[in-house]
Structure 1
Amino acid sequence: MTGTPARHDVVVLGAGIVGICVALHLQRLGRSVVLVDRRGAAEETSYGNAGLIQREGVYPYGFPHDYGALVRYGMNRTIDAHYHPSAVLALAPFLWKYWHHSRPARHEKIAHIYSHLIEHCVTEHDDLAAEAGAQDFMKRTGWMKVFRTERERDKRYAEAARWKSEYGLNFATLDRAQLQEAEPHLAPVLVGALHWIDPVCVDDPQGLALAYAGLFERHGGVFAQGNAASLEDVKTGWRVKTARGPIEARDAVVALGPWADTVTRALGYDLPLAVKRGYHMHYRPAGEARLNHPVLDHERGYFLAPMRQGIRLTTGAEFAHRDAIRSPVQLGRAEPIARDLFPLAERLDNEPWMGARPCTPDMLPIIGKAPRHDRLWFAFGHAHHGLTLGPVTGRLLAEMVTGAKPFVDPLPYRPERFGP
């Protein structure tokens, strides 16, 4: 379609959880917004995550520094991490910086910065969910990290105690008997669990995102299918091609997650964005088995979450090129171990789902104004915490775009930290 471009105040590129929340908050502040995606809303990474709003997640997931973990990863046979050998050379600069920022002293400093976003994650979700009528997706059960060895159990208990002291996080420790009472269908091979109480579990992450998108459209927001790569700088702001025809807006927000570089590189930005790919599969619980909490098998490195679609088994991180062929070897490694821990019946999906998490080497998202373009804004790089931080990012960026006072200091997340 061609013709006179439709005009809006803001075009948001990317209809994952982050883009949807940016659009919603801009709308709340009086802006006319069009949300653009090449597919439908929340059909990519926002569909297949583990469904946690991680209030406890003040320490973003770092690169391990203990020798044993590095040796295991080097053998490339683990569940929690896997790499494509063909991608290692290209990823090496990113991985080196990621390793550097994950050093304990640096990681601790990053956590203090990150905590200012994380502390608002549940309240900001609650605010949107209440307005969208989406509270039924959110379960106040918290989640559990379960242990097979006393050594790891005690180490993580001590870590949690430090985090409670520093950040006010709430948790409970469960011994073997208490864990069996809370989760009677887990095999009795575990020595205890760490129960994070503050996080909220989402039993259909895409459903929650679609509820937010529905709220946006009910209040007059426009969704248009289009290719973000068509974004161009024009005299009156920005223009993008969509199935509805060309759309122009004064401001543009890039919220494309792992595909952000399809726009940023074309505009001259060389941001250090990489991806961690992950897989999931749904299973029917066998017989009368029930999983009451999401569970991380800590020493084995996979996650089980009760979802509306079934029990979702998710894997750790796969380091590969974003668009490389799928290789769900981690899922294949995890499935028999998971079946031994919890009675999973048949697979419910035709094939494993795969998503890509957009990551920065310093583990902080990129939120703020583009350094060299007027009225261009970035909101991506949330790694494992896109669902967690979608509403927080949406509110923060909307306040920046509209000139309102930001409720969180945006300086640490600015794009300029990686250069002009």
Structure 2
Amino acid sequence: MKIGYIFLFLVLFISFSFAQEKDSLFPICNSLGEYGFIDKTGKVVIEPQFGGSFYFSEGLCAVKTGSKWGYINKSGKYVINPAYDGVGPFMQGTAAVLLNGKWGYINKKGQTIIKPTFNWCGNFSRFLTAVLVGKKWGYVDQDGVMIIKPQYDEAYEFTKDLALVKIGNKWGYIVDTGAMIISPHGYDDAFSFSSSGLAAIKQKDKWGYINTIGEIVIKPQFDCVTTFNEGLALAYVSGKCGYINEEGNFVINPKYEEATNFSEGLAAVKIDGKWGYINKKGKIVIEPKFENVSGFYNGLAWWISEDYNWGYIDKKGTTIWELHPKKDTDLTAEEIKNQVLKAFEELENELSLIKDLEEIDVENGHAVAKSNAEDWKEAASSE
């Protein structure tokens, strides 16, 4: 029983959920570590056969055969043959690929549009992407022309026409010409802007929010926060979390041990050690009974049970697909649990604890990932 494969899938699920598209297919993994896909009804439409999988994005999905990655269509047929050591999802018609330790870009025909020359790279947004050259980050266009020279210690995607960059130990925001619009002098940490036009910033160990001209609109007062999604953000106070609106007021009081951002009208919350889901009124709509869960995307969310079964549920809490690893092995439940935890610990070390914007590191008071672009780069090259 290759439990490590199953947890690699679960980590990738979190990391690549941003790349999903409407009417997409959902990856599954059998007890042999083979990946296939189901539709929203739980019907298997592509039989498990691949050694790894992302999500579909712009009609294509990265999958692994042997030690190489390529891209399939929704019929399960390769349209870009497996030839790469690592890959990212398609965004704006391009995808990052890894060859011989360097990253470049291809188009949806599999043609190289930017030769692999970078140490790391991100997703295209506003037709620019962050790239790492040596130890500094800059930005190139889709022709590979360096538009903003490498000068930043960290750099992220453009959102709301601004990109988050780090110079020294401070954070600021630039426009696509490289001009610094919000100076990197006052923020000890920061996030990219969300679609709400607000970005979380950290000053003197407390988190608040600024608007796109750098004005503080929610004063730093929280121990930890996430970006706004669907009008609400997760905020921690004194070890408990709840949800604030864009005025900074709690609309769901901080009473949960852990939680995720809202997605598709529901948020996962942890109560007495178990995960369930609430709506935007704070009402429990799926009872807390799971060991771990994801947010909802395209109507489905994954779950893990106490005996380490896992599957997908719909918004009514009905399981539409399920894998029973215990049925496929002679190991005891405790041995399965230990193997799963060991595999997850190894993945944490190997992938630098990949998480998405919904998950936060409460102990350090810091959101683990500022940009999903960073997540898929590490995951894709980890093997």
Fold similarity call, TM over 0.5: no
- Determine which structure has greater relative contact order: mean sequence separation of CA pairs < 8 Å that are 6+ residues apart, divided by chain length: 1
Q: Which one has the bigger helix percentage?
A: 1
Q: Which one has the bigger strand percentage?
A: 2
TM-score (norm 1): 0.23
